[in-house]
Amino acid sequence: MKEFVIRKNDAGQRLDRFVQKAAPLLPASLAQKYIRLKRIKINNKRADRDTRLNEGDAVQMYVNDEFFEKPNEYNAFLSLTNPKLNVVYEDENIILADKKPGMLCHPDKEWTANTLITNIQAYLYQKGEWDPKAENSFTPALCNRIDRNTGGIVIAAKNAEALRILNEKIRDREIEKSYLCIVIGRPKPEAGTLTGFIFKDADKNRVFVHPKPVPGGKTAVTVYETLTAKNGLSLVRCRLETGRTHQIRAQFANAGHPLLGDGKYGSGRVNRERGENGQMLYSYKLKFAFTTPADSLEYLKDKEFTVENVDFAEKYFPEYKL
């Protein structure tokens, strides 16, 4: 039990509003329930949620300690009462989630609870599959990540062994990821391989493609195939041979065919004409292309998963089916 004595700066506000500030991780619906059940009281007496607090009042809260902690990337899941998750596949070891554009994979410098990992943790916590109090150190974690404004399949591990195995498979390139994108113009040739050396300017959060090796540059290889084209746009499928920052976006821009909607590497004029402000790029398919033993995840070998739909493909190329 925690008790709070109301001071001048707290007086005059409703009880439920005060509770939100005193216990920032206590979901609003649970706070209302606790008030009804007299687990939250004023001066040791039952009170309604809209009761106004007076200076000198004492608020008693019979609430678990974790709800009083300040939100951070490790306990943010507690504040999500209705996690939003598009599950492509799930078993006892992993979740494949379809991350929509606009959602962060992890909290950034301006922390927010509504990230993919916090939604996954809240989902597992509420299902009873993960109890942080029963763990010494492990928390469900993402094995790969996708830029905020790019959508697609992200792998999450439910246990430490799965996380170890998948991290090794990603490092050894035994997991294939295929992307759909819309580029401006029509690539020539219509199918081929983009190669180059990518140098990242961390200060500008931008990469530059060079045809020859440069200090600090890393090899970048993207295999692509034009699926269909019309009205000055092409729907292209890509497979990454390497995984560099902004690789697909930068390489297609360097080839003269920037992604539609790309504000960093694209064409501002075309983006404005089309009314697009987010890059048309989606990691729509994933295959567990294991070539070495995968221990407890061996059952995933050669399995392939695809998202249900890609909005921009349906918008510009409705005749094409995934």
Phi, psi of 40 (to 5 degrees): -125, 120
CA distance linking residue 264 with residue 266, whole number of Å: 6
Side chain identity, residue 242: T
CA distance linking residue 221 with residue 203, whole number of Å: 24
- The DSSP H or E segment spanning 199 is strand 191-201
Instruction: Report residue 124 as tokens.
Output: 């597992």
Residue 299 has what pLDDT? 98
Residue 41 has what pLDDT? 96
Residue 82 has what pLDDT? 86
Q: Name the pLDDT band for 185 (thresholds 50, 70, 90).
A: very high
Residue 7 has what pLDDT? 82
Please determine, for residue 14, whether its predicted confidence score (pLDDT) is greater than 80: yes
Architecture of domain 2-68: Roll (3.10)
Residue 112 has what pLDDT? 65
Residue 178 has what pLDDT? 96
Number of helices (H), then strands (E), in the chain: 7, 14
Given 3.30.70.260, 3.90.1300.10, 3.40.1280.10, 3.30.2350.10, which CATH number is that of 76-171?
3.30.2350.10
Taking residues 290-298, report their average pLDDT. Answer: 97
Tell me where in the chain the CATH 3.10.290.10 domain(s) lie: 2-68
Please determine, for residue 135, whether its predicted confidence score (pLDDT) is greater than 70: no
CA atoms within 13 A on the CB side of 130: 25
Residue 70 has what pLDDT? 62
| Portion of the chain with pLDDT greater than 70, in percent | 96
Residue 107 has what pLDDT? 80
> What is the gyration radius of the CA atoms in the chain, in angstroms?
25
* Cβ count within 10 A of residue 310: 25
Q: Name the pLDDT band for 322 (thresholds 50, 70, 90).
A: confident
Residue 136 has what pLDDT? 53
CA distance linking residue 147 with residue 105, whole number of Å: 8
Q: What does pLDDT average to over the chain?
A: 91
Please determine, for residue 62, whether its predicted confidence score (pLDDT) is greater than 60: yes
pLDDT digits (tens, 9 = 90+) for 217-269: 999 999 999 999 999 999 999 999 998 999 999 999 999 999 999 999 999 99
CA distance linking residue 48 with residue 35, whole number of Å: 7
Residues assigned a catalytic role: 147
> 246: left (phi > 0), else alpha (psi -120 to 50), else beta?
left
Residue 108 has what pLDDT? 75
Please determine, for residue 73, whether its predicted confidence score (pLDDT) is greater than 60: no
Instruction: Report residue 216 as tokens.
Output: 């600090």
pLDDT digits (tens, 9 = 90+) for 188-222: 999 999 999 999 998 888 999 999 999 999 999 99
Residue 137 has what pLDDT? 56
Please determine, for residue 187, whether its predicted confidence score (pLDDT) is greater than 80: yes
CA distance linking residue 154 with residue 90, whole number of Å: 12
CATH of domain 175-316: 3.30.2350.10
| Portion of the chain with pLDDT greater than 90, in percent | 73
pLDDT digits (tens, 9 = 90+) for 265-283: 999 999 999 999 999 999 9
Instruction: Report residue 315 as tokens.
Output: 């918008």
Q: What is the pTM of this model?
A: 0.76
Cβ proximity of 217 and 210 under 8 Å = yes
Taking residues 86-101, report their average pLDDT. Answer: 97
Q: Name the pLDDT band for 75 (thresholds 50, 70, 90).
A: confident
